[in-house]
Every structure is written in structure tokens, then in C-alpha cells.
Amino acid sequence: MSKPLHIIRRQRRKRPREEIKSELDMTSMIDVVFLLLIFFMVATKFKQPEGTLRSWLPRDRGTSGGAPVVNPGCRFTLQMSDNIVVCYADQTTLPLHNGVYGSDDLGQAQQDFEGEWEVYGPDLQALERHIQMRKDTYMGVAAKGLPVIIDFAKDVPSVFVVNIVDLCKKLEIDDVAFAAPEIPIED
């Protein structure tokens, strides 16, 4: 006669057991974690610090064909000519970068040009001198000081517009406005 089943189980439990040493294998997890780390290190692109140049829009709309309005302030006009940005300051043509005055004189100067622009543009130092001169001789009554108006053609790279705004900020001119484009607005 065999022993009952529950007695057999008890006897089995009482039998001394060999200690099973179980270790968790961390290798695969570390592999994956390192892969993730490498991915994020390679894919990370830190955000460039950005600032803001404050400006305001004019409240008037531009009109075409009208007589030019006499303005005591300083007006800059940027136009594109043969892949060169020409800057007119109060009806005066400002020199180009490195003192070049026209497309005929560009020559080697344009080849040596290593600025941040893809097209040739006005000399920023001459631009700054002009604004400073106008600011020093400004006799207006505007509370904000010399008003500066920036007018630009549509194909001018935006960096040149920003450069003028930046120079105005440098010379502590707060009244910077953009000329209203001559395009009718449909309400």
C-alpha cells in the first residue's frame, strides 16, 4: 500500500533543497540604455538663444501715386539691383560693403566677401554714421526722438531690414517704423 499523496508532498518539502542563486542579467538593459543615450546625444540640437527687436506697424496704409510726404525723420529705402542690395538714406546712396560704390567696382571685393549675406549689401558702418549724423542734427519735436522709417523692396533679403533695426537700437532710437506697402487692402 502506497503512502497517501499529501504525505509524499510533505516529505518532498522537507527534503533539503539546493540553493538556487538567480541573478538578473543586466547586460541587455545596459546595451539598450547606452543605445538610447547615444541616440539622444547625437540627435540633440540645442536651441539657439534668440532675442527680439521690438517694432511697431504704421497705422496708415500706403497709397500709390501720391506726392511724397515730407518727413523730418530718417528714411531708408532698400532696393535690389543686380543681386546687390542698394540702400538709399534720405535720397543719398550709401556705399556698399568695404566701400564699394557700384556694381562695376565689385570685382574682387565680392569674391573676397565672407560675410553672412548671400548677396552684397550696404556698408553697415556708413549706415551707422548716417543715422548718428541725423540723430545729432535732429531738431524735431517728436517725444521719441528721431523717427526712422524703413522702406524695402519685396526681394530684399530680410537680414538687411533687421540690420537697420538693430543699428537703430544700438543708437538708442526707439521710433522705428516700417513704411506701409503700397498694396490695397480688401476688407
Partner 1 sequence: MSKNLDFGVEQDMTPMIDIVFLLIIFFMVVTELTMNQAEIVLPVAPRAKVVEPQPGSRVLIINVSLDGKTGEDRMQLGNGEFLTEKTLFAALKGETLAFDKWEPKPNNVGEPDSAIEVLIRCDRNAPAEYFHKIFFACQKAKIYKVNLAAQYERLGNPYDVEE
Residues that bind partner 1 (CB under 8 A): 26, 29-30, 33-34, 36-37, 40-41, 43-57, 59, 61, 78, 116-118, 152-163, 165-166, 169-170, 178, 180-181, 183, 185, 187
Q: Which is nearer to partner 1, 105 or 151 (CB)?
A: 151
* CB contact at 8 A, 157 and 85: yes
CA 128 to chain centroid, in Å, comes to 21
Residue 3 grid cell: 503512502
Least distance CB 71 / partner 1 (angstroms): 18
The minimum distance between CB 138 and partner 1, in angstroms, equals 20
Q: Report, in Å, the least distance between residue 168 CB and partner 1.
A: 9
Of 34 and 101, nearer to partner 1 (C-beta) is 34
95 versus 157: smaller Cβ distance to partner 1:
157
Contacts of 121 (CB under 8 A, 6+ apart): 84, 85, 87, 96, 97, 115, 160, 163
Q: C-beta of 9: minimal distance to partner 1 in Å?
A: 36
Distance CA 25, CA 23 (A): 6
Q: Are 141 and 155 in contact (CB under 8 A)?
A: no
| Burial of 178 from C-beta contacts in 10 A (0-12 / 13-18 / 19+) | middle
Q: How far is the CB of 122 from partner 1 (least distance, A)?
A: 14
Based on CB atoms, which residue is closest to partner 1, 98 or 169? 169
Closest to partner 1 by CB, 49 or 68:
49
